[in-house]
Amino acid sequence: MLKKLSALLLGLASVAAQAGILDTTLPNGLRVIVKEDHRAPVMVSQVWYRAGSVDEFNGTTGVAHVLEHMMFKGTKEVPAGEFSKRIAAAGGRENAFTSRDHTAYFQQMQKDKLELSMQLEADRMANLLIGDESFAKEIQVVMEERRMRTDDNPQAVVSERMMAAAYQEHPYQRPIIGWMNDLEHLTAQDARDWYGRWYAPNNATLVVAGDVNADDVLALAKKYFGPLTPHVLPVRKPQDEPAQIGVKRINVKVPAKLPYLVMAYHAPALRDWDHEWVPYALQILGGVLSGNDSARLQKALVKEQQVAVNADAGYDAVARGPSMFMLDATPAQGKTVNDVEAALRREIERIKQDGVSEAELNRVKSQIIAGDIFQRDSLFYQVMQLGEYVTAGLPPEALEGRVARLRAITPEQVKSVAKQFLTDDELTVAVLEPQPLESKPPRPAMPGVRHDN
């Protein structure tokens, strides 16, 4: 069965590798990437700005995300609320999201509506209106979003505090949505400054995929984005995280039903994609530990030892800054976070000492590669991956070559990265200590709270 699946994946990967991608840059610096996919008469268009929470200053955390909200508040040509109405009237859907590394805006529509998408995005790239009154209303929406997504979610609070402790200097220590104190003091001028600093064609990438012709897409990009003036972008100084010199531990006391544990190890992100193997081995290690019922954490901690009700591992190779290899778990009834941490450590030591067998490695590879390839069957996911990779400084070729690089990983390499990176000198441990739940009256729903980022 594995041989048949591997052969199928190899064939699918070969088809994917042959798919042509247009990758060019307009004279004003806008990068344009087009991937033709003619299976259905639809298209996805996304504009990615290389500006996320990593670029914020102390005292203005959350401004990248707030500006994302303000991008829907109108221009002189397209009044507030009109952007979404025009997309909906054309039968499309649109939204946006902010991360540590980028902010992106998308539309998914019939292929013949691409020009409308381009016209609207180019307009708000250069002509956004940020009024004091509209900002004052929207910042209240963002603060309510923070309360809903973080302050009222115990595990989210733990994750936020863990990141703040794990990074000593790197701006990844700051939450994407911002600290509440900063949100309370943000002004419309802060948003205008952010917009003027980063929202420019030479800091953006337009990614389009679907039933389109690459030359036609490029012509539309030149028509609508080509006339926009590039900006002199701020110099981005290196922000290297200093080496950690011992395990860090934090306890978080918030109202909650269950305890919770997170273990985060510093790890490198993908840079030299065609020569590095470490990030690919870390991805495979994540698959060995987590991701399905046959993975080690689920099998050992949940099914056999019954020390946890769930246990997961994860690693993201694509980032502008450093990455982390993370494990998290919720203790089973009658078990403690200390029991769970000890069990997680035993599984890590097993890999360090005994490694993984060829059969286990092949099974994990097939599962990871299958998931990757089948996700690419989604037009939206294709565009998402391209935008994420190029905004992180990786070429489209890195995405197309990912399957081959994963397939080449050996058992020795998986064992090696576990020994090198899953050590206490790279580790931050965060523990949720549940406090009594408080009875609070439900807050009234606030119009305009977005549920996308």
The residues assigned a catalytic role are 68
Sign of the Cα pseudo-torsion (339, 341, 347, 352, in order): negative
**Alpha-carbon distance 203 to 262, whole Å?**
35
Q: Are the beta carbons of 260 and 327 closer than 8 angstroms?
A: no
Q: Are the beta carbons of 334 and 404 closer than 8 angstroms?
A: no
Write phi, then psi, for 32 (nearest 5 degrees): -125, 125
- Residue 41 CB neighbours (<10 A): 11
Q: Nearest to residue 325, comparing CAs of 382, 367, 281?
A: 281
DSSP state of 328: E
Q: 204: part of which helix (H) or strand (E)?
A: strand 204-210
DSSP string, 355-407: ---HHHHHHHHHHHHHHHHHHTTSHHHHHHHHHHHHHTT--HHHHHTHHHHHH
DSSP string, 30-58: -EEEEEE--SSSEEEEEEEES-SGGGPPT
Strand-pairing partners, residue 202, are none
Sign of the Cα pseudo-torsion (53, 56, 60, 66, in order): negative
CA angle at 268 for the pair 411 and 395, rounded to the nearest 5°: 95
Query: Both ends of the chain: CA-CA distance in Å?
Result: 39
